Structure formats: C-alpha cells, structure tokens
A and B are shown apart, each in its own frame.
Chain A
Amino acid sequence: MSKTLYDKLWDNHVVHVEPDGTALLYIDRHLVHEVTSPQAFEGLKLAGRKPWRVSSIVSTPDHNTPTDHWDEGIKDPISRQQVETLDANIREVGALAYFPFKDQRMGILHVVGPENGATLPGMTVVCGDSHTSTHGAFACLAHGIGTSEVEHVLATQCLLQKKSKTMLVAVEGRLGKGVTGKDVALAIIGTIGTAGGTGYAIEFGGSAIRGLSMEGRMTLCNMAIEGGARMGFVAVDDKTIEYLRGRPFSPKGEVWDNAVAYWRTLQSDTGAQFDRVVTLKAEDIRPQVTWGTSPEMVVAIDANVPDPAKQSDPVKREGMERALQYMGLNPNTPMNQISIDKVFIGSCTNSRIEDLREAASVLKGRHIAPSVKLALAVPGSGLVKRQAEAEGLDKVFLAAGFEWREPGCSMCLAMNADRLEPGERCASTSNRNFEGRQGPGGRTHLLSPAMAAAAAIAGRFAMSCVTSSQH
C-alpha cells in the first residue's frame, strides 16, 4: 500500500502500541534549552531516575542570553540562574553536544541542530519548544513538547503519541522575485488559518517547495505550528543531502552512503492518500505582512488593513476589532502607509545565512529611516555570525544603521533585554505577533528579512527591491 512520508517516519519509530492506538515512539534527537528543561531535570532527580541515552541530547541556552555586552555576562539574576541551571544539569548528566553561553557554536537550537548535522533525515526530533517543527525541513518527525514530556523523553527515550491526520500543502509553480519561504509560510497560514493544521501533520510539497533552499524550507516548517500543526516536513532530495554533507555530526564514509540510500526513501509514495490536500499557486503569493495579533491576520504588502465590518461571524469580527485596537490601526489603511519604530531581523524563523544575505542585499548602500529608533540584526548562531562576517554582511548592516548583535532568540520573545516598549511598532522576521509577545504593549508585524530591511529603509512597510533571488 502506498505510504505517506508521515506513515514511513511513524512506522520507523513505533516501539509499542496500546489498544486505543496510543503508541510509544522512540526519540532519536532530544534538543534541550534552559527555559523548559529545569523542572524536567528536577523531576527526574526527585524520582531517582537516570537519563536513558544522553548521546541523544544536543543543548544550548538561547532564550535568556543577552545579545550584546557578552563580557558583562547575564545581568538579569533570574535569567542567569536559569542558564546556570542548564549548565549544571548538563554537566551532571552529559550530552552529545553542549554549547554553553558565549561558546563559538552557541545559538538558537533550531539553527544549531541542522548546521551541526545533529538533525538528520528520518529522525524523531523533540524539544520543549514549539518551533521544533523547523527540523521537519530534513524529513524529520519533529515537534515541540511540554516539560513533562521532556522529562518523559529523558527517562524513557520515548513519547506517548496518537497518530495525527495527514495534510499535503502543495505549492506549485515558480515564486516571484523577492517572494521567500517566509511569504509562503504566511500565505499558507492566511489560507488555512491559525488552527487549520490542528490535529494534522503537514507535508509541504510541490515544485515551489522543491525550489526552496534548505533555509527556506526550515523557515516554512518552523511556522507549521503557527498554522496549528505540531509538525511540518519536506521530503528528502539532493538539496537535503548536499546540505548535510561534511557537517560535524553527519555520518562519514560507508555509513554516510548507507544513510543516504535510506534517506532517499523518505518521500510519500505515488498515490499515497492524505486526509486533506491544500493547493496554492506560487504565482499568486505576494510578499506578506501581518496586520493583527495572530499569524493568520496577514495580507499582501500592496493590500489594505481588512475591515471588520465585512466579517459576518460575530466572534471573528470582535477578534478583528480587538486586534486592530491593540495594533493601533484603522480598517482599510494601505499596509504601505503604516510607519514603524523598530526592526528585528532574527529568530529561529529567519536568522540563517541566507536570511542575512537577503536582508543585506536590500540594505546595501542604503540607510535606515531617521524615524526608526532601533534596527537589530541578530544572527541565529555563532557559526552564522562568523560566516556573515566572512562575507562582509556585518559591515552592510552596520553601515545601514543596524546593530550587529551576538546570537540568541532575542526580540522574538523578549525574554532578554531586547524588547519593545508599550505602543512601539516593529517589523519583525520572527514567528508570532501575539499581544505582548515582543514586550508588553508592543505591536508586531511579521514579514520576511528582505521586507524587514525594506521597511527599515522606508520607515514604513514597503515592497523590497531584492537584487538577489533564491532561484
């Protein structure tokens, strides 16, 4: 019988099945950061249990760490305690790899895993972080878990799971110039809604997805969760394999050849049936900007802020009105007339080398608008930062008036000092525009790195004039 990629990944990890279909799935890779793990390590210790397989663990602190003045350490004592707790826990139990604060390879876990070859096709990858879906770009069964499940994985190397329904999101055709993985992700969420993927595992397919780089696919899978799906993935192709060749934890020699042979089977069979199929035409996708407080509240850059009066569902209408009030926007305002206060280029969605290249190509020879109070460029990892500096991108950002920071999650969720003040409006390459996400009272608009750069220059949302294209 024809199998979907999800069926293949699932079947390869089932250890045991309960009578009601609840399965015990084996976990290959466990990513651990400082925010969602302390209670799990404590629970393990209190129960007198030992971690099952520490060589599955890859860890780094990322949420709380500052992005400047590293010489001064972590000033916030509560943040520091959380990072030091991770240091102590990993020191005690061990890990395949730990990149502590200030390490050259430290960074956002979802950037660090793939770039070190610690994320390999066919793996189950979990982390106490909803953006673990990112790793699905490598045909992994990858999703976020809660802290109780972090403890469960530490103790048993397994998770209790019910099989999800399957959805194929096919994007066919060629993306226009300046249309990136981020725009595709936002356009999909705008189509299916923020709960459209709830209960589903999404496979992204179609010629436009195959045309995306691995970075673009990571951006897309990263945002599967904003469409309600815990996991989203893309089949293995030559790009997947070439990306992984020679990475520190990628297999070598004969083992590599055997691995590649298996990885090439990681695609849905012809004729495989999905519970739902959604098709988008690549040519229809314009650069996207969110206007509200949910990622589904999104329009193309050349559109207007929607009018709640045209919404017939009263609960939805009220939600739109509340969002517009919070965002300080009037219905029917053209998006390109909305001015911004801050710009954030970074996060596990858009902080990889390709993202920085795209932004820099827009910024080159230009300067941010005088009305922009702060523009931050935060690379996803130490390795991304060094690569960008080797290419001279840091100089482009600095000359344009951006601050060039150290890696970390930064203003995506503002657990460190990088945040919005109440009422400030931000063009952000991150993944969530929820109320207060980037700081209490802050107003977030999600967009691509190129669009964020264009907004920084114009001081308002604007069409980017991208000089390089991903094709």
Chain B
Amino acid sequence: MDKFTRLEGLVAPLDRNNVDTDAIIPKQFLKSIKRSGFGPNAFDEWRYMDIGEPGQDATHRPKNPNFVLNQSRYQGSEVLLTRANFGCGSSREHAPWALLDFGFKAIVAESFADIFFNNCYKNGIVPIVLPATEIEALFKQVEATPGYKLVVDLQAQAVIRPDGYGIQFQIDAFRKECLINGWDDIGLTLRHAEKIREFEEKRRINQPWLFS
C-alpha cells in the first residue's frame, strides 16, 4: 500500500446522497479475479450511454455528457466530494479499487457506509467525514471555481481550502499511523501470532464445538 501523508488534488463534486457500491462499480465487472483495471468502469451506468461489459475497450464508448465526472474541468481529479452515506450497499472492495484506479486518493463526504469506509483504508484512500455545513460550502466553492483544489494534510488531520480555511477531521490513531507508513495490516497482526495461538488454544478447550 502506498504511503499517504499530504495531497493537493483537484476536486470533483458528486452531489448525491446514498451513492451505492452498485453505482460505483456494477456487478458485471465483479467477475474479474484481479485487483486492478476497474477504473474505466467506475460509475459505469452513469458515465456511459451504453451498457458496459467486462473486457471491453472503454475508450470509444459513448459518454454521458451530463455526468459530472465526464466534464473536462474535472478530468484528473483526485479528491471526490460527495454527500451522506457514500458507499452504501455491498462489501465489494472493487468499489475502492475502481475509485483508486480512476484516480481518487481522498473522498470527502458528510458520512460513509461502514464497510466501504473500512475498505478505503485498506487501499490507501483517505475517507474524510466533515460536517454538513462544511460540505455544503465546499460544493458551492467547487462549482464556482474551475480548477478548485483541496489540500488533505493527514498528519495535521485537516482539509485546507484554497482560501486558506482549514477544516479538522477525525481519524483513529491506529488507522492514521497505518496510512502514513503504508503498513500492511497482515504483517502488523502477525506480530501477535503467539497471542492468537494462545487465545485459540484456550478457546479450543472452553468452547470445543467451535472447532468441529
């Protein structure tokens, strides 16, 4: 996993509540057995006018001009700004894989669905929760200002607007440390292998029905 410390990125606004994982990456693309290559199919049904199929070359597909991410001013964006309950629905990690492959490294929202929120951290994407009033103000600024960029300073736990106004956000200390260092969770957990083994042995004696 890549380390995340500070990002200054172009912001794309997706002004909807409840963006679900079926919308982020439709089911037909879940048939892949790889972790990469989902970017061209991120938001497939909103982004294209035709029906997408796995394995197809997306470069010549008809794009929906009304979909915000297709607008030229948002090309190359790295920060996604959205509303409440982003990433609701299924546990598919293909959703953060698709967003990362598309280019997003941070997502700023009023709230996130739990499983998606967790999946972001495992892939080095920073999901940032801000109060509704701040989100509303950001939407207004982004729409009014072509080339609008935000700074995400993870160390300082702050989102900084171009006008210098900084907004603090919360993040668990453990998750922050993992992102900043690009740590592999499994490696970290296996440092406790002996403890896990002891726990398991006790369990096997006390609750043997769990091990049949």
Contacts and interface: CB of A to CB of B under 8 A. Distances in A.
Nearest to A76: B31
A147 B175 CA distance: 18
B64 interface: no
Interface string A310-339: 000001101100100000000000000000
B185 A437 contact: no
B195 A148 contact: no
Contacts of B112: 198
A144 B91 contact: yes
Contact of A152 (B16, B35, B189, B210): B189
Nearest to B16: A319
A230 B185 contact: no
B23 A436 contact: yes
B113 interface: yes
Contact of B91 (A129, A195, A228): A129
Contacts of A28: 210
Contacts of B118: 145-146, 149
A38 B33 contact: yes
A43 B22 CA distance: 24
Contacts of A162: 172
A151 B211 CA distance: 20
Interface string A12-23: 000110111110
Contact of B196 (A36, A157, A230): A157
B186 A49 contact: yes
Contacts, number: 194
Given A26-B199, A85-B33, A130-B89, A148 B123 contact: yes
Nearest to A124: B210
Given A36-B91, A228-B88, A47 B186 contact: yes
A265 B55 CA distance: 52
A78 B85 contact: no
Interface string A129-143: 110100000000001
B89 A432 contact: yes
B199 A156 contact: no
Nearest to A38: B33
A26 B196 contact: yes
A213 interface: no
B20 interface: yes
Interface stretch (A254-262, A268-276, A362-370): A254-262
Contacts of B83: 315
Interface string B8-30: 00000001111010110011101
Of the four ranges (under 10, 10 to 19, 20 to 34, 35 or more), the interface on chain B belongs to: 35 or more
B201 to A, nearest CB: 11
Contacts of B122: 146, 148-149
A340 to B, nearest CB: 21
B33 A440 contact: no
A194 B199 CA distance: 37
Interface string A272-305: 0000000000000000000000100000000000
A397 to B, nearest CB: 26
Contacts of B91: 36, 128-130, 132, 144-146
B156 interface: no
Contact of A195 (B23, B111, B203): B111
A199 interface: yes
B164 interface: no
B192 interface: yes
A206 interface: no
B185 A415 contact: no
Contacts of B190: 155-156
Contacts of A144: 90-91, 115
B200 interface: yes
B207 to A, nearest CB: 7
B115 A130 contact: yes
Contact of A24 (B27, B45, B196): B196
B93 A147 contact: yes
A32 interface: no
Given A78-B55, A255-B208, A415-B28, A160 B189 contact: yes
A53 interface: yes
B51 interface: yes
Contacts of A455: none
A132 B115 CA distance: 12
Interface in B144-168: none
B207 A294 contact: no
Residue of B54, B122, B123 with most partner-chain A CB within 10 A: B122
B73 to A, nearest CB: 22
6 contacts: A16-B195, A128-B93, A198-B113, A230-B115, A294-B88, A413-B27
Which 8 A-B pairs have CB atoms at the shortest separation, nearest pair first? A144-B91, A148-B122, A146-B93, A251-B209, A38-B33, A146-B119, A195-B85, A20-B173
Interface of B: 15-18, 20, 22-23, 26-28, 30-35, 45, 51, 54-55, 83-85, 88-93, 96, 111-115, 118-119, 122-123, 172-175, 185-186, 189-190, 192-193, 195-196, 199-200, 203, 207-212
Interface of A: 15-16, 18-22, 24, 26, 28, 35-36, 38-39, 42, 47, 49, 52-53, 55, 63-64, 76, 78-79, 81-82, 85, 120, 122-123, 128-130, 132, 143-149, 151-152, 155-158, 160, 162, 194-195, 198-199, 225, 228-230, 249, 251, 255-256, 258-259, 262, 294, 315-316, 318-319, 322, 413-415, 422, 432, 434-437, 440
